[in-house]
Amino acid sequence: MKSNEISYDEQVQEQLLSGSIQNFFREYQVGTLLHRCGIRKCRGISPVIVLRCIFGLSFLGDNIFRHMVIKARQPFGKDVLYDFLRSEKFNWRRLLLLLAARAVSFIDGLTGRNRQKVLIIDDSVIERPRSKKVELLSRVYDHANGRFVRGFRMLTVGWSDGVSFLPLDFAMLSSQKEKNCFQGITKEISKKSCGYIRRRESLAKSTDLLEPMVRRVLSQGIRARYILMDSWFGMPSIISRLHKHLPVICMVKNTPKIHYGFAGIRLPLKAIYGLVSKKPGKAKLLASTLVTLNDGLPAKLVFVRNRNSNDWLALLSTDTELPDEKVVELYGKRWDIEVFFKATKQHLNLENGIQARDFDSIIAHTTIVMMRYVFLALLKRRQDDPRTLGLLFYRCCQELEDLTFIEALRRVQTLLTDTLKHVGWWGKELCSLVTDIVVKSIIHLLHPATPLWQTIQEVR
C-alpha cells in the first residue's frame, strides 16, 4: 500500500469526523466569523476550507507537516496553508472570542440561574525544547516545576459553569529580559496590524494584560459572577484592579512581603493566622476573618487545611458576604483550566502540532487548538445533558408532568379492575365496592378543612 493510501476504516473515520466538523462550522457560522475577523481567501482558496482541513488533524493523529507534505491529500498546496497561518492581518483573537461567546450563550441556556459561572485566569508554559530560530523564543520560568524552559508562557482566560470549560482569550508571552531571549522580532510589519499588537503584547508583563483581557471578554456579553485565580496572580494590586469588573476569589501567598489591614494595623498573612480563633478538632475550614487591601478594599480571608502537609492555605474573596464553604467550593472550579491545559498539550497537539518559526503562525495554531477544545466541550455537553435535545426534551418533561396524582390513581384503578375480572363472578361487585371506598376517602382527604389539603396549599 502506498503512503498516501488509507484503509477503509480510516476513510469511514474521516467521513464521520468531517460530518461533525461541518455541522459545527455550520451551526456556529464559522465562515461568517472568519469574514468578520478579516480572514480572507488565500490564493483563491476559501478560508473555511483551509481552516476545516487543519481543524481535524489532531483528531486523526496527524500534524500539519505529515498531512500537508508527506501525505499531500489536501485539495490545495502547502503554500496556501502556510500563507493562511502566517498572515499578520488576520484577527485570530477576535475569532476565538466570538466563537466562544456563542458557545457560552448555548451552554448558559442549559444552566440554572443558581449555578455560579466564573472566569478563570491562569498561565501555562508552552515548551519548544528543540527550537532555535523561532521568533520571540525565550527562557521562561515554569513555576509549576520550579525551573527555566525554552518556549513561551500562555496566559489564558476561560469561562466555566462547573461542568464545561471554554477558552475565551489568550496571550503568548516571551521574556522581558533581553538576556533570556533566544530570538527577537524578525518580521517587519505594519504597526496597525494584529501581528504587531500581538508581538508588543508578548513583551509586556502578564499582570498588565489581565484587566484588558477581562474587559474584552465582558464586552462580548459573557456573563460570569466571579474571577478565579491562582496565588501566582493573587497580589493586592491585581485583585483591586480586577474587582472593578467582577468579585475576585484567589489563593494568596504566605509571604512576609505582602501585608493586609487587620484590627487597625498592617500584618502579613502568617501573623493574621496566629491572631484569629481556630475551629476545634480536625476541621477542614480552620478560620476566617475580614481584612483590607492596600487601597482599603474589604476582603475575606478563609484559612483551610492543606491535605498534603500539616500546613494551611489561605483563600481570599472580595465578596465578604460569601460563606466560607462557598468560597472553597467556587475556588475548586479553577481546576477546570488545569484540565484544559493538559488536554490541549497531550491530545490536541498544542506544543508539537506545528513546526513554524513565524510568531503569527504560532498564534494561529494556538487559536485553532482552542477552537478544537470548544468543539469537544460542546460535543460532550450535548452527549451528557439531555436538555440539548431541545423540543424533544421539553415534550418528555411535559409528559412526565401530565402523570399527575389523578392519572396515577386512574392507572391503579384500571389495573385493579383488570385483575379482579379474572377472580370470578363476584369480581365486578368487589371492584365497584373498592373504588367507591377509595374515592370517598380521597374526597375526604382533599376537603379544604382537612390537614392534608392545608399542607398542599402551603407547599403551593
Q: Measured between alpha carbons, how far is 283 from 347 in angstroms, rounded to an integer?
A: 39
Contacts 24+ apart (CB under 8 A), 43-48: 43/76, 43/79, 43/80, 43/83, 45/76, 45/80, 47/84
CB 74 within 8 A of CB 347: no
Assigned domain for 440 exists = yes
CA-to-CA dists, residue 199 to 173, 174, 206, 223, 332, angstroms: 9, 9, 13, 29, 34
- CATH number for the domain spanning 318: value is 3.90.350.10
Tell me: do 303 and 233 sit in the same domain.
yes
| pLDDT at residue 2 in the model | 41
Pair 270, 385 in one domain: yes
**Together in a domain, 113 and 169:** yes
Asked whether 366 and 350 are in contact (CB, 8 A), the reply is yes
The pLDDT assigned to 394 comes to 47
Output phi, psi for 456, to 5 deg: -60, -40
Q: Residue 382 has what pLDDT?
A: 85
* 374 and 409 housed in the same domain: no
Which one of 28, 60, 85 terminates a domain?
A: 85
Residue identified by cell 498564534 is 363
Please check whether residues 424 and 379 belong to one and the same domain: no
Same domain flag for 344 and 236 = yes
| Total domains present in the chain | 3
One domain for residues 355 and 417: no
Task: Domain of residue 159: give its range.
Answer: 92-389
Residues 81 and 123 grouped into a single domain: no
What's the pLDDT score for residue 433? 72
Cβ-Cβ contacts under 8 Å for 329 (sequence gap 6 or more)? none
- Name the domain boundary from 389, 414, 441: 389
Q: What is the pLDDT along the chain (460 residues), one digit of tens a residue?
A: 344 455 655 565 667 777 889 999 999 999 999 999 999 988 888 999 999 988 988 887 777 766 666 555 667 778 888 899 999 999 999 999 999 999 999 998 887 778 899 999 999 999 998 888 999 999 998 887 888 999 999 999 999 999 999 999 999 999 988 899 999 998 889 999 999 999 999 999 999 999 999 999 999 999 999 999 999 999 999 999 999 999 999 999 999 999 999 999 999 999 999 999 988 877 889 999 999 999 999 999 999 998 877 889 999 999 999 999 999 999 999 999 999 999 999 999 899 888 889 999 999 999 999 999 999 999 998 887 655 555 444 444 444 444 455 566 566 667 666 666 666 656 666 667 766 776 666 656 555 555 544 544 554 4
Domain match, 80 and 123 both: no
* Residue 124, in any domain of the structure: yes
Q: Is residue 361 part of a domain?
A: yes
Q: 192 CB contacts (<8 Å, ≥6 apart)?
A: none
pLDDT of residue 383: 83
Domain boundary among 85, 102, 130: 85
Asked if residue 117 and residue 64 are part of one domain, the reply reads no
Instruction: Output the pLDDT for position 427.
Output: 63
Are 247 and 353 part of one and the same domain?
yes
Instruction: Indicate whether 3 belongs to any domain.
Output: no
Q: How far apart are CA 82 and CA 77, in angstroms?
A: 9
Distance CA 103, CA 133 (A): 37
* Domain match, 278 and 414 both: no
- Please, which residues have CB within 8 angstroms of residue 300's CB and are 6 or more apart in sequence? 288, 289, 290, 291, 316, 317, 318, 319, 320, 322, 324, 327
Reported pTM: 0.81
